[in-house]
Amino acid sequence: MEVLALLDCLSAPACLLSQAVGGLKIGMLLFLVASGLTLIFGVLGIINFAHGILYMLGAYFAWQAMELTGHFGLSVLIGAIGVGIFGLAFERGLIKRVYESNLLIQILLCYAVILIVDDLVMIIWGDEFLSSIGVPEIFQVPPLFIFDAVIPPFHLAIIFTSLLIAILLWMLMTRSRFGSLVRAAAINPKMLEALGINTNFIRYSVFVLGSFLAGLGGALAASERSIVSQMGNSILIESFIVTVIGGMGSIGGAFLASLIIGMARSFGAVAMPLFTDGLMFLIMVLVLILRPRGIMGEKK
Amino acid sequence: MSLLKISNLNAFYDNSQVLFNLNINITEGKIIALLGRNGAGKSSTFKAITGMIQVKSGSIFLKEKNLTDMPTNKRALAGIGYVPEDRQVFPEHSVEENIDLGKKLNSDIKNSWGKDKIWETFPVLYNLKKRIAGRLSGGEQQMLSIARTLVGNPSILLLDEPSEGLAPKIIEDITKILLNLKKTGATILLAEQNMHFCMNIAQEAIIIDKGKNVWEGNINKLKKDKKTRDKYLAV
Ligand SMILES: Nc1ncnc2c1ncn2[C@@H]1O[C@H](COP(=O)(O)OP(=O)(O)OP(=O)(O)O)[C@@H](O)[C@H]1O
Ligand SMILES: [Mg+2]
């Protein structure tokens, strides 16, 4: 481990700032994906092992929309909405049949869907990497130099967009009737039914919302990374780690944990470039030892 | 006129039968005690009415609406108001949020219970409206559970042992609230193990035993009928 390199970075404003912005960007994109995963688990009691393909589809849909329209913002939106619609079909067609099934059946179903969708994607878009959809024109400008740190304005835009989504999500969950219903459905759906609420509607709304967020994460990520059918795998693992660190079902926890993982990846790349994946698991293990229910998880 | 009519109902928990050819007929505007020992089937009757347990034969009508095969939420929208025996408030929601969850935004039932009227009827809850429901006392939770159901303007209220486990002072408060409801012409089916709490509230009583209805009539008549009480209600 290169402790000196890390100390150098932490004491140099340029390095500190550019790694921090990089960590924020990774963390906020991760939050978009992980918040949906944790929300779906909290309300539906389903661990969506197929969450990674939602991210991947978001990237492909956005890429295709970009080919057709050439408009970045529109393409990202189409990517996210497209995945939301896919999520609706996935939940109504398949997931709703396994709510009461045991975990093994749920995993098998999700795994089957992953394999099928991966193949379909390769049939439609080919098995070669697609190039990124690129950064919108207004952000094709020289980077900002703040304390000598090189900061691409587009990264700031991604951070602020994701932060805005996080705030909207938080307001939806805490300030709206829909959020109140979702929180109640997570705790006692039977009683909610007896009060006249259609909890089925809440379940698939949550699944669609989670899918939309994952699709948005994939579409935004596609701006700077190449697109391939396997791209959902690592984000799925990272989202699970975030869910465990933050506490299963807690959106606030997912937010904190995403930031922690984002920073660990970014500064980890300086301190121990060969161990950044290992570092995430190390943090997870530490949290599991010190606080098994996660940072903001409920006591069971 | 008949508001709720249960005919020849057979209901099950998975494969074990709990209700056997149950017949209940509730007239609009009456408060009726549903009496029976521990395990007699009072809660199961409510669960059959709300659609929480499986009905294999028989029928449940609310006025002319056939509820028998409706999902639970549609029955609530049709006018069934259920207050379960363990209250089941949402522990992490505030008092006010709990009450808001009981509102029915998509039903055509007439709206006689606004939130103002709820606060007026339950001043205790008004003073606690920001508090998390999990931190209320048992009596406060009971009131909240009743208020949450009332705000949905049910045409019949199913109250499952509202006095269970509460101090005499709180039971008095709840009695007062129910007597007020009585004045407004509410229809209530009130499940209790013994007739003590129901005496001043209900006009009539139905006794069930081992999942069947075995007696019904005026509650004063039951008071004098020691033989029936000893047979079906004594502990
Ligand atoms: N979830 C369940 N699964 C199987 N049997 C059940 C279940 N709940 C209740 N029962 C059985 O159904 C019968 C009726 O129970 P129920 O709860 O309706 O009685 P009750 O009249 O409400 O009693 P109490 O006064 O104790 O609340 C009992 O024999 C009970 O053991
Ligand atoms: Mg009972």
How many angstroms does the Cα of residue B140 sit away from the middle of ligand 1? Answer: 25
User: Maximum Cα–Cα distance for chain A, whole Å?
Assistant: 62
Which residues of A are less than 8 Å from B152 in CB distance?
Answer: 195-196
pLDDT in tens, B171-204: 999 999 999 999 988 999 999 987 888 888 999 9
Nearest to A192 among B77, B101, B104 (CB): B101
CA distance B203 to chain A (A): 27
Task: Check if the beta carbon of residue A271 is closer than 8 Å to that of residue A5.
Answer: yes
Record: contact B50-A194, CB cut-off 8 A: yes
Record: contact B149-A195, CB cut-off 8 A: yes
Q: What is the pLDDT of chain B when averaged over all its residues?
A: 92
Collect all residues from A whose CB is shorter than 8 A from any CB in B.
177, 180-181, 183-184, 187-188, 190-199
Nearest to B88 among A177, A188, A199 (CB): A188
Q: Which ligand is nearest to the CA of B13?
A: 1
C-alpha span between B118 and B126 (Å, rounded): 8
If one counts the domains in chain B, the total is 1
Q: Is this prediction's ipTM beyond 0.90?
A: yes
User: Cα separations (Å) of A22 from A29, A54, A226, B54?
Assistant: 11, 24, 18, 56
Domain map (residue ranges) of chain A: 2-135+150-290
Collect all residues from B whose CB is shorter than 8 A from any CB in A.
50, 52, 71-73, 76-77, 82, 84, 88, 90-93, 97, 100-102, 104-105, 107, 148-149, 152
Q: Residue range A246-259: average pLDDT?
A: 93
A2-135+150-290 fold? ABC transporter involved in vitamin B12 uptake, BtuC (1.10.3470)
**Residue B117: CB partners within 8 Å, gap ≥ 6?**
none
A180 pLDDT tier (thresholds 50, 70, 90): very high
Residues in chain B: 235
B108 pLDDT tier (thresholds 50, 70, 90): low
**Residue B30: CB partners within 8 Å, gap ≥ 6?**
B187, B203, B204
Residue nearest ligand 1's atom 4 by CA:
B13
**Residue A232: CB partners within 8 Å, gap ≥ 6?**
A51, A52, A53, A54, A55, A56, A114, A218
Task: Check if the beta carbon of residue A261 is closer than 8 Å to that of residue A238.
Answer: yes
Question: Is the predicted pLDDT of residue A11 greater than 90, yes or no?
Answer: no
Please tell me the predicted confidence (pLDDT) of residue A183.
95
Question: Is the predicted pLDDT of residue B66 greater than 70, yes or no?
Answer: yes
pLDDT in tens, A103-123: 999 999 999 999 999 999 999
C-alpha span between B8 and B23 (Å, rounded): 6
Record: contact B92-A198, CB cut-off 8 A: no
Domain that holds residue B150: 2-232
How many angstroms does the Cα of residue B94 sit away from the middle of ligand 2? Answer: 26
CATH of the domain at B157: 3.40.50.300
Which residues of A are less than 8 Å from B84 in CB distance?
Answer: 191, 194
| Of residues A275, A248, A250, the one with CA closest to residue A264 | A275
Edge-first strand order for the sheet with B212-218 is B80-83, B156-160, B188-192, B31-35, B204-209, B212-218
Q: Which helix (H) or strand (E) holds A74?
A: helix A72-93
Mutational test site, ligand 1, from B10, B34, B43, max ligand atoms within 8 Å of CB: B43
* β B212-218/B204-209 pair status: antiparallel
Residues in chain A: 300
Question: Is the predicted pLDDT of residue B110 greater than 90, yes or no?
Answer: no
Which residues of A are less than 8 Å from B82 in CB distance?
Answer: 194
Distance of alpha carbon B212 from its chain centroid, rounded? 18
C-alpha span between A4 and A11 (Å, rounded): 10
Cα three-residue angle B164-B179-B66, rounded to 5 degrees: 80
Question: Is the predicted pLDDT of residue A300 greater than 60, yes or no?
Answer: no
How many angstroms does the Cα of residue B40 sit away from the middle of ligand 1? Answer: 7
Nearest to B93 among A184, A196, A199 (CB): A184
C-alpha span between A262 and A56 (Å, rounded): 19
Residue appearing with tokens 């809440």 = A202
| Of residues A204, A203, A234, the one with CA closest to residue A217 | A234
Give the residues surrounding ligand 1 with Cβ less than 6 Å away: B 13, 16, 18, 36, 38-44, 85, 193
Q: Which ligand is nearest to the CA of B193?
A: 1
Q: What is the pTM of this model?
A: 0.90
Residue appearing with tokens 């020691």 = B226
How many angstroms does the Cα of residue B87 sit away from the middle of ligand 2? Answer: 12
C-alpha span between B99 and B89 (Å, rounded): 9
| Of residues A179, A159, A189, A167, the one with CA closest to residue A263 | A159
- The larger pLDDT score, comparing residue B205 to residue A141, is at B205
Q: Which helix (H) or strand (E) holds A19?
A: helix A13-44
Q: Report CA torsion sign: B62, B64, B68, B74.
A: negative
